[in-house]
Amino acid sequence: MIPGVSNRRRFKDLSEQEVLALAISSEEDDARIYRSYSERLRADFPASAAIFDDMAIEEDGHRTRLIDLHRVRFGDTIPLIRREHVAGFYARRPVWLIENLSLDRIRDEARQMERDAQAFYETAAKSTTNADTRQLLGDLAAAEAGHSDRATALVAENINADADAEEKDAAHRQFVLTWVQPGLAGLMDGSVSTLAPIFAVAFATQDTWTTFLVGLAASIGAGISMGFTEAASDDGQISGRGSPLKRGVASGVMTTVGGLGHALPYLITDFWTATTIAIAVVFVELWAIAWIQNKYMETPFFRAALQVVVGGALVLGVGILIGSG
Residue 2 lies in a domain: no
Examine residue 68 and state whether it is found in any structural domain, yes or no.
yes
Examine the fold and report which residue of 135, 159, 183 is the final residue of a domain before the chain moves on.
159
At 165, is the pLDDT very low, low, confident or very high (cuts 50, 70, 90)?
Answer: low
Q: Is residue 133 part of a domain?
A: yes
Q: 113, 131, 159 — which closes off a domain?
A: 159
Q: pLDDT category, 5, cuts 50, 70, 90?
A: very low
Mean pLDDT of the 153-164 span = 57
pLDDT at 152: 58
The percent of residues in the chain predicted with pLDDT above 90, rounded, is 42
139-145 average pLDDT score: 86
93 is a domain residue:
yes
Query: Is 4 within a domain?
Result: no
Mean pLDDT of the chain: 84
Task: Please report the pLDDT score of residue 86 as a whole number.
Answer: 85
134 and 171: one domain?
Answer: no
Q: What is the pLDDT of residue 123?
A: 87
Q: Are residues 33 and 182 in the same domain?
A: no
Task: Confirm whether 17 is domain-assigned.
Answer: yes
Query: 240 and 216 in one domain?
Result: yes
CATH code for position 128: 1.20.1260.10
> Would you list the DSSP string of 91-104?
----GGGGGG--HH
Q: Does residue 239 surpass a pLDDT of 70?
A: no
Examine the domain organization and report whether 185 and 66 are in the same domain. Answer: no
pLDDT for 154 beyond 70:
no
pLDDT of 200 higher than 80: yes
Burial class (CB in 10 A: 0-12, 13-18, 19+), 59: buried
Percentage of residues of the chain with pLDDT beyond 70: 87
How many structural domains are present in the chain? 2
- Which whole number is the average pLDDT over 137-164? 68
Looking at residues 195-204, what average pLDDT do you find? Answer: 94
* 216 or 237: which leads in pLDDT: 216
Distance CA 159, CA 45 (A): 10
Q: Which pLDDT does position 294 carry in this prediction?
A: 81
Task: Identify whether residues 59 and 145 lie together within a single domain.
Answer: yes
- Does residue 1 sit within a domain? no
Mean of pLDDT values over 136-156: 74
Q: Judge if 171 and 126 occupy the same domain.
A: no
Phi-psi region of 8 (alpha: psi -120 to 50; beta: other; left: phi over 0): beta
Of 105, 139, 159, which closes a domain?
Answer: 159
The answer on 303 and 181 residing in a single domain is yes
Backbone angles phi, psi at 86, to 5 degrees: -115, 120
Give pLDDT tens digits for 10-41: 888 889 999 999 999 999 999 998 898 888 88
Beta carbons of 38 and 109 less than 8 angstroms apart: no
DSSP secondary structure string for all residues of 172-232 = HHHHIIIIIHHHHHHHHHHHHHTHHHHHHHHHHH--HHHHHHHHHHHHHHHHHHHHHHHHH
Q: Which residues pair with 86 in a beta bridge?
A: 9
| pLDDT at 56 > cutoff 60 | yes
- pLDDT for 247-296, tens place per residue? 999 999 999 999 999 999 999 999 999 999 999 999 888 888 888 888 77
Domain that holds residue 270: 165-324
Predicted confidence at residue 269, as pLDDT, reads 94
